[in-house]
Amino acid sequence: MTVLVFVENIDDELSQQALTFARGLGDELHAVLIGAPAVPAGLAAYGVSIAHLAAGLDAYAPAAWAQAIVELVARTTPAAVMGPGTDRGNEVLAHIAAKTDQPMAANCMSIAAGDPASLVRVRWGGSLLEEARLHGSPMLLTVAPHAVAAEMVAEPADLVLEEFTPSVSNVDLIARVCERASAVSAGVSLTDADVVVSGGRGVGSAAGFAVIEELAELLGGAVGCSRAVTSAGWRPHTDQVGQTGTKISPEIYIACGISGATQHMAGCKGAKKLLAINPDGEASIFASADYAVIGDLHEVVPAISAEIRKARSA
């Protein structure tokens, strides 16, 4: 069985996870890359035997990228087409579903081949696991972030490269990226940080984030926040952790004054460890926490920072 995977970025963990997930379903793994400046050698390490390179679509245009994959599917007839469960992966696969009039399952945790295939997928920001049957040929799905661990193959095969130029219409290019504005940021980013220190409504104000920033700096980490904080204008949206913000996977996530709404937890469930600090002992975030401190963050967080400085100066 041939499986085609839309690889957004082979250096990104979620694309690596999608390839690992796909290996469990098919015995021949193909990848399609669109807008990639070069072919990463890492594709073979994750089991890809053939990489299809779509030419002429450097700028992101979801309908056009989907059309490129639809044309590739017609030539290669894979049993399944997958993508990472990212914003872009879900959008491109949804366009493919619309163009081919096939059902599409987003954010899958597991799948068993059959007619129809049986799968489990994440719903409602991670609060519900749904058992479903996926019909259609080819099967269309995206892989939930951190559903599987990214694993390389023991013996990579020689990678075959095949370039093709898709035929896209002007209609497919109506919605496309025309310009990029880089966010002004300092230090490590949320997606790359091994430590993320976040503040929620309990921080109280924009100025209250000084203690959050201090702890993050001491730990060499990034500062995050909840949606309530960005809605209040205390921090930019780029700092938001959650279903509608950034999905993170640090070694440790320190959540300060965050209640633990489903949407927020969907963004931080990839964290290896969770330390929650909240004065409300009944806060829902404690149900997911590995470590819990029931107390005022304005007292607890400076105390942690002080202990770190003391340990380093000893």
Whether 119 contacts 141, CB under 8 Å? yes
The H or E element containing residue 20 is helix 13-23
Q: How far apart are CA 142 and CA 158, in angstroms?
A: 26
Residue 3 CB-density burial (10 A; 0-12 exposed, 13-18 middle, 19+ buried): buried
Instruction: Single out the residue of 232, 220, 228, 223 nearest to residue 255, CA to CA.
Output: 223
Structural domains in the chain? 2-173 (3.40.50.620), 195-313 (3.40.50.1220)
Q: How far apart are CA 140 and CA 120, in angstroms?
A: 14
The confidence score (pLDDT) of residue 100 equals 96
Residue 166, preceding peptide bond in cis (omega within 30° of 0) = no
Over the chain, what is the mean pLDDT? 92
119: CB partners within 8 A, 6+ apart: 105, 108, 109, 110, 111, 112, 131, 132, 133, 134, 141
Residue 230 pLDDT more than 70? yes
DSSP-derived letter for residue 135 is -
Report pLDDT digits (tens) over 9-59: 888 899 999 999 999 887 899 999 998 766 677 899 999 999 999 998 989
Instruction: Single out the residue of 211, 184, 172, 195 nearest to residue 57, CA to CA.
Output: 172
Q: Which two tokens stand for residue 170?
A: 């002007």
Helix runs in 35-185, H state only: 42-45, 62-76, 87-100
pTM for this model (two decimals)? 0.71
Report pLDDT digits (tens) over 52-82: 999 989 899 999 999 999 999 999 999 999 9
The confidence score (pLDDT) of residue 37 equals 62
Kindly indicate the confidence band of residue 4, based on its pLDDT and cuts at 50, 70 and 90.
Answer: very high
